[in-house]
Every structure is written in C-alpha cells, then in structure tokens.
Amino acid sequence: MPVKLAENEYGKSRVRLVKVERHGSRHELQDLSFDIQLSGDFTAAYAEGKNELVLPTDTMKNTVYALARQQPLGEIEEFGERLTGHFLSRNPQVERVRVAISQNSWARIKAGTREHDYAFVRAGEERRTSVVEQARSGQPGPAVRSGIADLAVLKTSRSAFQGFLRDEYTTLEDTPDRLLSTAVTAEWTCAPGVRRYGEMWRAARQTILEVFANHDSRGVQHTLYAIGSAVLERVPEIARIELALPNRHCYRVDLAPFGLDNPNEVFAPADEPYGLIRAVLARS
Amino acid sequence: MPVKLAENEYGKSRVRLVKVERHGSRHELQDLSFDIQLSGDFTAAYAEGKNELVLPTDTMKNTVYALARQQPLGEIEEFGERLTGHFLSRNPQVERVRVAISQNSWARIKAGTREHDYAFVRAGEERRTSVVEQARSGQPGPAVRSGIADLAVLKTSRSAFQGFLRDEYTTLEDTPDRLLSTAVTAEWTCAPGVRRYGEMWRAARQTILEVFANHDSRGVQHTLYAIGSAVLERVPEIARIELALPNRHCYRVDLAPFGLDNPNEVFAPADEPYGLIRAVLARS
Amino acid sequence: MPVKLAENEYGKSRVRLVKVERHGSRHELQDLSFDIQLSGDFTAAYAEGKNELVLPTDTMKNTVYALARQQPLGEIEEFGERLTGHFLSRNPQVERVRVAISQNSWARIKAGTREHDYAFVRAGEERRTSVVEQARSGQPGPAVRSGIADLAVLKTSRSAFQGFLRDEYTTLEDTPDRLLSTAVTAEWTCAPGVRRYGEMWRAARQTILEVFANHDSRGVQHTLYAIGSAVLERVPEIARIELALPNRHCYRVDLAPFGLDNPNEVFAPADEPYGLIRAVLARS
Amino acid sequence: MPVKLAENEYGKSRVRLVKVERHGSRHELQDLSFDIQLSGDFTAAYAEGKNELVLPTDTMKNTVYALARQQPLGEIEEFGERLTGHFLSRNPQVERVRVAISQNSWARIKAGTREHDYAFVRAGEERRTSVVEQARSGQPGPAVRSGIADLAVLKTSRSAFQGFLRDEYTTLEDTPDRLLSTAVTAEWTCAPGVRRYGEMWRAARQTILEVFANHDSRGVQHTLYAIGSAVLERVPEIARIELALPNRHCYRVDLAPFGLDNPNEVFAPADEPYGLIRAVLARS
C-alpha cells in the first residue's frame, strides 16, 4: 500500500545543563533544560532503516555541552540561536531546527542585605523560556520567542465574575468578589534584530505582576487582556504576545450548615477541573 | 496603544467523569477526562470585561454531566460530537468548539476465567483518546481524531542502531542489538462518516503492539514507520496517522571496571534526556 | 554547644535496573528500582568531615549492577538478601542495612493466545515491592517484607457507608450504594525461612482482587479487614499484613438543578481530599 | 482463623484550605494542606462493618473549615493543637490524633520597594510544616514538631568529597571541588510550652541557608551536621532536629572527546539515582 511520510521531526528532549561562570569569587549560575528538534528529508531512515543522514540525538546532547563550554552562554535566546545555526550549517539534510530552552530560577542566598557569591536558593517554580526556530530557506534570521512559564499569582481582592451568559445548565452565581489564582504562561515574539532579551524579560515579568495585582478584574479574559496590552505598551520590541491563564479555582466554602457565615475568608482550592483561557494579542 | 485580539479560546480542562451503565447485574464503566475549548467573538469580555456572551466554564462542566445522564455515552468520539454540537448550536457567538477526551483503562477482575460483573482493576496507564473539532462554517461535519496515549512497550531483541551520521561531537557507538523502550502515542484522522470507532481503535492498538514486537528495528524512525504503515494498511478508514515515540534509553552498564562482561543483560534505564521521534504518515 | 548524633543513615535511592535473562529465544525481563540505606558509626564523617569509613553511594549503585550480573536475580526478596548480606559482611562499620526494591509490571505482548518471546507491554502502575532489613547483631537472618503498591481497583456495586457517627460538622448522608475506588498498598511479613516468595505474592494479589470484588462492603475499614483476613487465611507463611487503602472518592453528581435524576450513574471522581485507612492485621 | 487488629488509623488527607484574614485593605494569606489521622478502638468497624463510632473523614474536612472560620488561625502549630484537641475531646473512642500541616510559600508582589496589600506571587516550592500529635493518656500536652520541606539550595564552591572508603566496586574519584545541590527537609521537636513558633521557624530557615552557603563541606554528612548543630545553637527551644538531604548529583561532563577541558563549568544534573543522607541531632 502506498504510504507517504507527510511530516517528520526528531531530536533530544530534557537535555539538562548547569553552567557555572566564574568571575573571581563571584559565580554566575545557569540551570537549563533543552528540547531540540530537527526536520528534513529523512525518508530513508523511516522507510528503509537507512541511518546515513541521521545525526544521533545523543550527539545533539553532546553538542549542547560542547558549545556551552566554548564561550559564555549569554541570554538563552542567544544560545538558542547558536544551536540552531550550528545544526543547520553542518547538516544539509536538515530543513528546519527548533530549540526550546527552559531556565530554572535561582536567587543568591542572603545574609542581611549581603548576597552570597556562590550559594543559591531556588526562587520559585516559574521558568524563563525561549523557543528559537530556524529554517534553511525563508526568513533571513531565526524566529525567536521569549517567555515565562508557571508564574503563580493569587489576589484576594478586586476580582469579580458576573453578568455572564446563563443557560439551562448554569448553576454558577454572580460574584462581585472572589479569589483569583492562576499561573501565568506567556510567550512573546520579538521583532527581528532585538538584542536586549534579558531586560525585556524582566520588564515583561514585572509588568505581568503589577497589572495582575492592580487591575480591577471582571474575569480571567479581562485580566489576560490587561496584562497583554500592558506588556505590548511597555516593551516596544514585543510584536505579539500569547498568554495562557488557568483559573485555579478557590471555592468559597459553604459554612451555613454549621451556623457560620463566610465573608470570603475560608476557601477550598481545587486543582481540577480548571478553567483555561488563552489568547494572542498583537499590535493592530 | 492600539492592540488587537488576534486569537482566543477558553474552556474547562480536566473535567472528570465516571459513568456507570447497568445492564442487570453487569455494569459497564467509563472513566473519562474532558478538555473543552470554545473560540469566537469574545472581544468585549477581553477588552472591556463585559461577560454577556461568556458561557461560564463551570457550565461546560455541568453540561458534560447532564448530557452523560441523558443517553448512553457510546464511543468517546460519539460523545465528543454530541458535546461540540451542543455548544455550537446553542451559542451563536461561538465559531469553533474543540473537545478532547481521554479514557482510562480498566479491566474486569478475573477469578479463573470468569470476569466479574461490577469490579474492575486498572489496566495500565495507557489511555484511549479522541479530539473532536467543529467549526460553525466550513466542513459539513466535525473533524474527528482518535488515538492512544502512553502505550508503554519494551523489546529485548531485534533492535539495532548503526550506520548513523557522525560528526565531531558524536561519541555514540554502533549497536547491532539494544533494548528498545518507548511509550507510543498515536492519533489518527478518520474519514468522514466513520462509525465503528471502537473496533478501529482495538485494531490499531493490536497492530501497534504486534508490529512493535515483530519488526526488525534499525532505529526508532524505522519502527515508527513500520507501525504507521501497518495501521494504515489494516484499518482502511484511517486516512492519516501521527505517531510520537520517545526513546526511553536503557543504557548498557559498563561492568568492565569490575572485571565483568555485560552481554546485554544489565541496563540502567533513564528518564531524561530522551530521544523524541514524531512523524505523520498518510496514504499517498 | 554539646551536640550528639542520635540517629543516622545514608545511601542511594532510585537506582534503576533493567535485567534481561535470556533462555534461548525466550527472554525474561525484570524492571526494578532500589533504595539502599546503611547505618552505623559514622560520627567522624558528620562531625569532622572524615570520610574514611564512608562507602560512596555511587559504589552502592555499582554494586547493584555488578551483583545483578553475577547470577540470576531470583525473586526480589532473594536479591535484597544478597545485597544486605554483601554490605554487612564487607563493612564492619555498618550496623544495619535496609534495601527496598520496587518492581514494575510488564506482560508479554500477545497475538491471539500466543505470548511473545521478547516483547512486552506495561501492565499497570502497580508494583511488586520488598524491604529487606538486616542488622549485624540481633536476629539470625534478615527481616523480609513483601508487598504490592498502588493496585488500583474500583467496584460499582456492593459498597455502602451508613450508620456512622454524626456531630455538628457532619453533612455526609448515609449511602446504601456507592462507588468504591481505591489503590491497595499492602506489605506482609514473612515467617523466617520462607522460600516461595513469588507464589505467595501471586496468591496474595489474587486474594486482594477477589475479596475486594466479592465482599459486601460497609466501609473501607470493613473491606480492608476482609482483605487482610483472607490473605492471612490463604497464605499460611504470612504472619502479619499491613494495608493502606486511600478512599478515592467518586462523588455522585447532583443533577436535580437540570431536572434530571441520577440513579448512581454519573460520578465526579476527585483526587483530593481523600480518605486514608491503614491497619495491621496479625494472627492472634 | 483467629485474626487480630494489631494497629489501625484512619483520616482525611490533602484537605486544602486557603484562609484570608483582612486587616483593612491589607490581607493576610494562608495556603495550607492537612492530613488528619485518628486511632483508637475501631474494631467493630473493621471486623463487622459497624460504623457507630466512625467519625466520617468528610466530617474531619468540614471541621478544618469550620474551625478556621471561628478565630484567627495563628501559627500552623497552634491551629494543629486546636484540631487535635477538638477531635480528642469530642471522641472518647479515639486514643490518639495526629495532624500534619503543610504551608505553601507566597510573597507579596512588589513594585519598587512597596509591597502589595492583597496580591501575592508563589515564593518557591519549599513548605513550612508541622506535625501535632496528641494521645488521650500520656504526656500532659501534645507533641509538636515544626519543619521545612524541600528548601532547594545549590553551591558552586567550597564542596569536596574525598578520602572515602574504596572497595572493588568503587569507581568514583576524589573530588576537591564539586557542585553541591540538595533540597533540605528538616523537622524539629520543640520543648513543651514553646509559643514563638514563627520566629523560631524563620531563625531555623535562615540558619540553614547561611550554614549551607558558608560551610566548607567535605561531604553531605558534614554539611548536614553543620546545619543541625547551628540550628540547635541558635534556637534554644529546639531540642532535637531531624534532617534529610538528598544529594542531587550534578555530574561534571567529560568534554575530552571533543578536545575541550572542563574546569568545573559544565554539569549535567540528574534526578535519579540520588544519594540520601538522614540524621537526627540532639543536645547531649
């Protein structure tokens, strides 16, 4: 039976790297995880088991380590570009390379106001992320996205959800005041030629936090839009931002059976089910 | 600053349902999880916090339970179609609905050869899956995909990886005989009008297992292609199949430092990093 | 300030081993994970950083692999005994060794009734377990426990919970008919000198399944006791059994707001919170 | 066959509570999870399915919420004592109650140096913990333990491991300089009558961080002992401390095959296997 290979990609995932850069007694720490995917004309490997053009995924892992040694990593976006360029320039059989990098957060241990030179404490489960994609033909440079994953935030005031559509299966009641708990995942597309990735990331993160905190939310969609517009406004290099906000419901517990009121004090958080709101905002 | 809402979708995730259908003393069990996503013109909710057109995600959850009560669930693909049809027909503001369903595996408890009527034991972490997508305009009916997730398999013979491309960062050696351990995730697109989803699923699953077992593998790509072609061959209603096979490496332990050989007997499996091979096969 | 080291132990956890034993074309597969802990007089290492008596945890890992090569593994209890004996006989500074082993479940892939010689499919998340503890002084041989972890079962009939204690915070209603979903974890102590570990394990597992299925349950405690007593009855070498049964609640969904009844057909399972019932049964 | 119930306990696990205490516009947030276990004479429930003395685990959950409403929570240790006292005083059939509480970490969102009144960001995966145990007879008051779980730290200097015991299965080499990465879990026993739990916890946490950072480590045991002794020294109410430190190995990558050196710059972290060091320190 005639079968065709309509799409294909392969690579190595969860390649983990800790890189230490030493400036005298002061050490810089980077804790990263890589997913690398190549695509191209690999029909012979699939259809016939001929591996002549297959760069082993083990080699991709080694490449991460070898390139990490050879010069300072720089921002994760920059290291992603080095990797996509490396694989594309050496492998004519490859048409497209995608490298996704996720960076764990560490802060220096403090004693009083003094920051330690080489000792760190994990600073939350949030991660800085980047995806670099480069095709052999097409755009002149790689497409670079930057982002943040799982930035968990919660506010105990200024969040409502009311006036929504009701149908025969609606039991939810209007609430002028609820808890809003989410974990922001954002990914933005940088205009070509951008080079201040770290600064942009810090500005975007701080904007997300401040707008989440100060916005008068009428719903998760409303919050998401406020966050996205503010990031576009404050960081001019960002052309487009995708946001995903799970609604991590905190249910107000009904204490009436026990003769008690509950003026928004006692909540039962639940992991599932959860609302999930996703949107892309762009400059118009 | 002028901002536009370029894309949007929202819904409820991880809605869990256990449905029991009782035929006399014999009970049928379905253990499902749903992700529902709607998209359409929700600009007012995002930009202004006006929720008039926003069907609460809580209502989506209730809808799953209410529809589950009203008639037998049928195959998960059929129940997915009922849900997409329901949301689309009642909500003119919605342009597209996507329902993803994941079904856990349970087997009847056995005593000897007798199967129990109403007691079950969990039968692996593999899940039967389906994604039903329906747009208001466009194709006449919904697009239905069926699949299987995380079907973990391992073979201890007939798997090689050699003759691959080598560069300066390649240290992997040719191996004529290795362990092959993976967890197959597959998703196939059904030709419109198909109605024997369960039968097709069982045929596809059995084909995956048999081809994995009997194939003379020269690499994960080779195995993937063999599996995909065989499914297309044996199940004529399947038009296209996407397969993702992580390579869950089992490293042969070097026992030479202890004066011992290791004729492919002692392996150290590792969860990360892992190879990941994805491809789509279609009839040509 | 005078400080004493009141207790100490150290070792290697999550040492993973896949062992293949080949009998002609038929291969046997064992997929194991080890936690090893040694205790003894290691004060110098703690208080002064003197490591002369510290066997590296890396060596413990190597030991698992080297011993696994040297003879057939046998039952996990037997291999646990080899390991505790090894560490104790070579390390006079060690007073006690504990080895915990967890075995993943794999079944041969079947085509029709024929079982494959060297290809396997994962058979559930349940694991066979063993803990072997051996002290330098004290009992003549090691203490051996065997068990099963996370054997997930569910029944849709013959489970009630009523007539319980009520206080001012009780809102739960009596139910003569509910779903009972749990994941049995059991650990039994073998009388010294036992040597048919595998047979005992299979008998205990089958007893757990059958009693869970056929018992007329008035509560999780009642089910636990029925299971434990039956295991003690059917497997004479088992002197004592500890059982832990989480109550994985499946809540009957209230469909009355939608004008629907729910005769125990539609349930919402929830992972948390969960009841947890633990008891030890022994021969009296 | 005569069987006896040698031990038993039951209760509710993963009861999650978010409590908001409002002081004008400034809100305090507590995000907690509870495990409650009762033991006593429940033989009738086990052996005969008679539930007259069984307080439902659902009631335990309700009790957490009702008591949380009735007064400020206070420190988690204090709320644990209220819960154990509640269950013991109302339930004569209960002999012993254990309440374990785990508190998630949230920090106020900052803009410049200003802390937000009611918006929070998750501050790491570390958790403050407490276990309160109270028996009907025995000691006058409850036994209270406080602790910290999963405080992840890493240092890039001042950590060695050398001069250890070598046997035939040892391949590890002496290293005068390695990365030390761990996640500290500590639990301390408070002298009876203690009432400044929060202050003690903050002092213990800061001590753990500073000693980890500044200590000249010759091994994980050495670090553990230094941390434990310092906590005992600086916090006089702590009578005894248990510490568990997993060694989250970061392997120096061998770059020699690529013609590169690796002066402790490029590491591959691995989750498994991992060393695990546990000890109890007490005042002598």
Q: Which of C12, C84, C182, C185 is catalytic?
A: C12
If pLDDT is split at 50, 70 and 90, which confidence band does B138 have?
A: low
**Residues near C1 by beta carbon (within 8 Å), at least 6 away in sequence:** D229, D232, D233, D283
Whether residue C273 has a cis bond before it, omega within 30° of 0: yes
If pLDDT is split at 50, 70 and 90, which confidence band does D146 have?
A: very high
pLDDT of residue C283: 93
**B266 contacts C19? CB cut-off 8 A:** yes
For B220, how many CA atoms within 13 A lie in the half-sphere containing its CB? 30
pLDDT (mean) for B110-132: 95
When the pLDDT of each residue in chain C is averaged and rounded to a whole number, the result is 96
Mind listing the pLDDT tens digit for each residue in D222-237? 999 999 999 999 999 9
Percent of chain C surpassing pLDDT 70: 99
pLDDT (mean) for D141-148: 94
**B6 contacts A280? CB cut-off 8 A:** yes
pLDDT of residue C139: 65
Residue of A266, A267, A271, A272 best to disrupt the D interface, most CBs of D under 10 A: A266
Residues of chain B contacting residue A42, judged by C-beta atoms under 8 Å apart: 221
Q: Which of B12, B84, B182, B189 is catalytic?
A: B12
When the pLDDT of each residue in chain D is averaged and rounded to a whole number, the result is 96
The dihedral over CA atoms of B264, B206, B221, B252, expressed in degrees to the nearest 10, equals -10
Residue of D258, D260, D274 best to disrupt the B interface, most CBs of B under 10 A: D258
Which amino acid is residue D208, in one-letter code? I
Residue of D115, D121, D185 best to disrupt the A interface, most CBs of A under 10 A: D121
Of A192-206, B8-22, C53-67, D34-48, the poorest mean pLDDT is in A192-206
Q: Which residues lie across from C105 on neighbouring strands? A: none
pLDDT of residue A112: 87
A interface with C, Cβ–Cβ < 8 A, is 168-169, 171, 257-258, 270-272
- The pLDDT of residue B194 is above 90: no
Distance CA(C62)–CA(C122), nearest Å, equals 26
Mind listing the pLDDT tens digit for each residue in A83-117? 999 999 999 999 999 999 999 999 999 988 999 99
pLDDT of residue B139: 65
Residues of chain C contacting residue B68, judged by C-beta atoms under 8 Å apart: 265-266
Which of D52, D48, B105 has its CA nearest to residue C215? D48
If pLDDT is split at 50, 70 and 90, which confidence band does D190 have?
A: confident
Residues of chain A contacting residue B228, judged by C-beta atoms under 8 Å apart: 3
Q: Could you tell me where the DSSP H helices lie in A34-184?
A: 43-48, 57-70, 76-90
| Residue B44 backbone phi and psi in degrees, to 5 | -60, -35
The dihedral over CA atoms of A209, A215, A218, A222, expressed in degrees to the nearest 10, equals -60
If pLDDT is split at 50, 70 and 90, which confidence band does D198 have?
A: very high
If pLDDT is split at 50, 70 and 90, which confidence band does C241 have?
A: very high
ipTM value: 0.97
pLDDT (mean) for C164-179: 97
CA distance D112 to chain C (A): 38
**Residues near D13 by beta carbon (within 8 Å), at least 6 away in sequence:** C246, C272, C273, C274, C275, C276, D34, D35, D36
Secondary structure string (H, E, C) spanning B263-276? CCCEEEECCCCEEE
If pLDDT is split at 50, 70 and 90, which confidence band does B193 have?
A: confident
Residue from the list C168, C270, C272 with its beta carbon closest to the beta carbon of A258? C168
Interior CA angle at B40 toward B38 and B44, to 5°?
Answer: 115
Contact (CB, 8 A) for A30 and D267: no
**A283 contacts B162? CB cut-off 8 A:** no
- The pLDDT of residue D105 is above 90: yes
C182: annotated active-site residue: no
Mind listing the pLDDT tens digit for each residue in A132-164? 999 998 667 889 999 999 999 999 999 999 999
CA distance B188 to chain A (A): 13
Tokens representing A251 are: 């249910």
pLDDT of residue A141: 80
Rounded (to 5) percent helix, strand, coil in chain D: 25, 45, 30
| Residue B122 backbone phi and psi in degrees, to 5 | -65, 135
CA distance C174 to chain A (A): 17
pLDDT (mean) for B260-270: 97
Residues of chain A contacting residue D12, judged by C-beta atoms under 8 Å apart: none
pLDDT of residue C138: 67
Residue from the list D169, D258, D271 with its beta carbon closest to the beta carbon of B258? D169
- The pLDDT of residue D195 is above 90: no
- The pLDDT of residue A231 is above 90: yes
Q: Which of B19, B27, B57, B156 is catalytic?
A: B57
Residues of chain A contacting residue D21, judged by C-beta atoms under 8 Å apart: 265
- The pLDDT of residue B1 is above 80: no
**B13 contacts A276? CB cut-off 8 A:** yes
**D281 contacts C162? CB cut-off 8 A:** no
**C212 contacts B109? CB cut-off 8 A:** yes
Distance CA(C17)–CA(C30), nearest Å, equals 8
D129: annotated active-site residue: no
What are the Cα distances from residue B152, in Å, to B124, B169, B211, B223, B273?
Answer: 9, 31, 14, 14, 17
Between A and B, how many CB-CB pairs are < 8 A?
Answer: 256
Return the H-helix or E-strand segment holding D100: strand D94-111
Which of A45, A267, A56 has its CA nearest to residue A159? A267
CA distance C169 to chain A (A): 6
CA distance C80 to chain A (A): 32
pLDDT (mean) for C209-225: 98
Q: Which chains touch B (3 or more CB pairs under 8 A)?
A: A, C, D
Tokens representing A266 are: 């006692």
Residues of A with a catalytic annotation lie at: 12, 57, 249
- The pLDDT of residue A2 is above 90: no
- The pLDDT of residue D191 is above 90: no
**B266 contacts C68? CB cut-off 8 A:** yes
Q: Which residues lie across from A187 on neighbouring strands? A: A147, A242
pLDDT (mean) for C67-96: 97
Task: Find, in chain D, the residue whose alpha carbon is nearest to that of C3.
Answer: D283
